[in-house]
Structure 1
């Protein structure tokens, strides 16, 4: 395979107003034209307000780029019915660009007059069909405007794709190499399993984050993997290189060190949606068949924070044998639940079991599904991860950190981007979450993140049904299974090798 060199720019926000920095745009374009790029990808917000005069100006400026060019529409381009002008002045809203051993599939993720994004039913079907049609290509790249996973330093975490979990699952299933996006004016690179998620910052807009400067990304694809360089106009560069993991299937060696049962959303109540028999059967199987070292409940123990529901829940969870950690979900602290949770289950505290440490994080807020750890909580989490660096660190929280399939992303943490950055930069060994009613498991950078589905609530989003997770930690790897709570059938969620230099081994 020949090397592929791509210039990734985004969020130029071309306008006649002071928001547009024309000199920054010209500097980046001049660099692109003088370097041996095979392709330029612009991931949206070409204009600032989607107005005709902006598109006319943008059409002229875009022509300064003397390389093959793919341009994706952004939410600012779709303002004022600008999506129609985009097709007239810039190009198609979605399409396919083929090269020797690869393909770029780009699509419109915008919703008119909203900052949020969505790859809706027909577009999702189209993307799936294209990924299947080009499955023979060694390199598969998907480009859209909106980001797939939370970004650090973006303030309140919003404007992600509404169906980010479904899109992420689709890309992972079809072994996509690279996802390119922009939107939040923050350059960032994550590896999610073998998918590289490449976020470009803003090329020529005054609205940068945290005093940053304008930038673009340089993407080099080789036989070995993907290297992304974030190049700022100051000349500063930072790079990340990701090589695919081979082989995909691992066999554990050595003894099992720990077994965790992870559950969530039991939602104990007297409503018909609470499946009492399912929870009873699951607890029996956990005690008699799976015999874990610890049971972790990632929130929504009860359906509402009232006393009779807590009394019922206590009757069930008193039967669970051994160590337990229970963190509250948003349902648990509704009404009187904040006081009742502490009365019945206590304040979640850090627990050490030999070489393992469990760090519970409180993310639930009163009367809303939206969670927050907060700046104080973030500092505490950073401090704890550093303090226990010599142990196998397991972070426990209710809200999901990465998008979950089948779930509209209204349950994100407000500060998910910063929390995810703390988790990944500290190379946290394992993170367990439990919001959204569906099971998922992905490794972001070097950190596996596992979300539990609902164990006993009928209103879930999991095609596998009510379930709980078994997580086995060996000397050289982590293996996660999902167990169907009624029938006991299982499926593999993930297998991840443990880095050999971990001190506790």
Structure 2
């Protein structure tokens, strides 16, 4: 068994931002505890100044355990990255322990709060993960978060290539990702990886009236990962995740539902719109796939003008199956807000037997940035509670988790709070369609599936224009990405589910 103390965001300074008594209290607890080592995930100092580094060097020496320290965005202000190496240690590195390894990587950008694990560091991280692929526990530590966090206000200061980093960690079987940055403690399981975000250890800037805290991480010999958020008040919140064993999924019984999910058709008269591709997709849907429902996750048209809506309506009227369409940000530009309702109607909750489809409007007028809003979040939570006896499918435009090959700038500004609602209320499936690339990932017990562009040339998908085919069985959901021109498919995700199916 390995026990780790995870601290973050100490913000050591002579100014009022630093709470020395909270730091000493937590450090004394760590020193008395049975910890194998300590991880500090950044923002050691407040402004990256020399006097702060001098004091931080003194304060860190109080920790009487092996210590790994990662730089945060505050540490690299004022060319503080050079002082970090002088007073604290390397910006990137590897720490080996029994049965495991920690790879830490600098995610900072000088004088910006946003983060990036750029080309050279990304390749270095990939090489280290390949080098230590045989380790039982593979831990990556950085400052910035890779999935949105609740109770942090607007989603900002993100890792620009969070989608690529998340994809890399999942592909290489990383067990644990530790980070800080947002001053909020939080723990999620993303697929087979535990993501532990530490709150602030000794900074005065806590959120929602919270107090200072740190994480206690226990790696059990049987592969279990246990994370305890411990606050200075003594309050503890514990989450435990058993190891995920390799398994073969075999559907039991007949298929219960088939969904075709698409996005970003961007119907227009511009050269980027691939009319023949969309025609081929509609023909494939009607003649070969024959789904129970077709869901379009937004950006039906390229611009909200009547000429484009007339063309889009002609296309989608040819689909014989039930349809549910939610607007994307392109759809409500210009007159699109009214035109969408005129041609496609106001999205409403749709029930198909034991399945309930809940549309959520995230698009805003004349901006690619989306928001559900506090009232929208409450409505979503109420709908999920009201339909808890059915299999709930939430449909919206903006992606909630980062998408590979897309620059992440927090396109859904309240993504952290929306994700909290979805996971807390145990939504059975979430379908989104923003970013021009397909991606599927399970957070806690909720799979989130993003559709790529079905007929728009300006996409980010190496597989080309695609749509998703989702088959739901009694105990699993299977998602295939289908190439829009050739009809070939590849597995995007397969997840065990628990539905209200008494069959």
Report if TM-score (shorter chain) is over 0.5: yes
Q: d(CA) in 1 for partners of 2:168 and 2:333?
A: 35
> How far does the alpha carbon of each residue in 1:280-318 deviate from its partner, in whole angstroms, 9 at most, with x for none?
001100111100000000000001111111011011000
- Tell me if structure 2 keeps the 8 A contact 1:399–1:411: no
Alignment partner, residue 291 of structure 1: 290
TM-score for the superposition, normalised by structure 2: 0.99
CA contact (8 A) 1:266 1:455 kept: yes
Are 1:400 and 1:411, in contact at CA under 8 Å, matched by a contact in 2? no
2:3 to 5, 11, 23: 5
Quote the offset at 1:499 in angstroms: 2.7
3-state secondary structure, aligned to 1:470: strand
CA deviation map 1:101-134 (0-9, x unaligned)? 1100001100111100000000000000100111
Q: Deviations over 1:152-190 (max 9, x none)?
A: 000000111000000000000000000000000000000
2:449 maps to 1:434: no
Question: How far has the Cα of 1:247 moved from its partner?
Answer: 2.8
- The separation in 2 between residues aligned to 1:389 and 1:71, in whole angstroms, is 44
CA contact (8 A) 2:474 2:501 kept: no
Q: Which residue of 2 aligns with 1:361?
A: 360
Q: Which residue in 1 is equivalent to 2:328?
A: 329
2:20 corresponds to: 22
Distance verdict in 2 for CA 1:483–1:503, change over 3 Å: closer
Cα shift at 1:381: 0.3
Aligned to 1:246: 245
CA contact (8 A) 1:369 1:410 kept: no
1:353-410 Cα shifts (integer Å, max 9, x gaps): 1111000000001111110000010000000000000000000000001000000013
1:64-463 paired onto structure 2 within 5 Å:
64-222=62-220, 223-410=222-409, 412-463=411-462
In the alignment, structure 2 segments of 5+ residues that lack a partner are none
CA apart distance, 1:411: 5.1
CA contact (8 A) 2:158 2:410 kept: no
**Residues of 2 paired with 1:157 and 1:37: CA distance?**
33
1:185 and 1:79 mapped to 2: Cα distance?
Answer: 18
Q: Give the TM-score normalised by structure 1.
A: 0.98
Query: Which digits, 9 at most, give the CA deviation of each residue in 1:49-93, with x for residues without a partner?
Result: 000000000000000000000000000001111111000011100
Structure 1 stretches (4+) deviating beyond 4 angstroms?
none
Shift of the alpha carbon at 1:503?
A: 6.5
- In structure 2, how many angstroms separate the alpha carbons of the residues matched to 1:70 and 1:248? 35
1:504 is displaced (CA, Å) by: 6.0
- Secondary structure at the residue paired with 2:140? strand
1:101–1:139 Cα contact (<8 Å) kept: yes
SS at match of 1:332: helix
Q: Aligned pairs, how many? A: 502
Deviation at 1:245, TM superposition (A): 2.4
Asked if 1 retains the 8 angstrom alpha-carbon contact of 2:158 and 2:409, the reply is: no
Cα distance in 2 between the residues matched to 1:50 and 1:413: 31
CA shift at 1:244, angstroms?
2.6
The 10-residue stretch of structure 1 (41-50 or 216-225) with the greater mean CA deviation from structure 2: 216-225
Distance in 1 (alpha carbons) for counterparts of 2:159 and 2:229: 23
TM-aligned CA deviation for residue 497 of structure 1: 1.0
Contact map agreement 1:50 1:76 (CA 8 A) in 2: yes
Partner of 2:487: 488
Question: Contact 2:155 / 2:410 at 8 angstroms: preserved in 1?
Answer: no
Conserved? CA contact 1:411–1:436, under 8 Å: no
Q: Are the counterparts in 1 of residues 156 and 410 from structure 2 also a CA contact under 8 Å?
A: no
Equivalent residues of 1:391, 1:504 under 8 A apart: no
Deviation at 1:94, TM superposition (A): 0.5
- Deviation, structure 1 residue 235: 0.4
Superposition RMSD in Å: 0.9
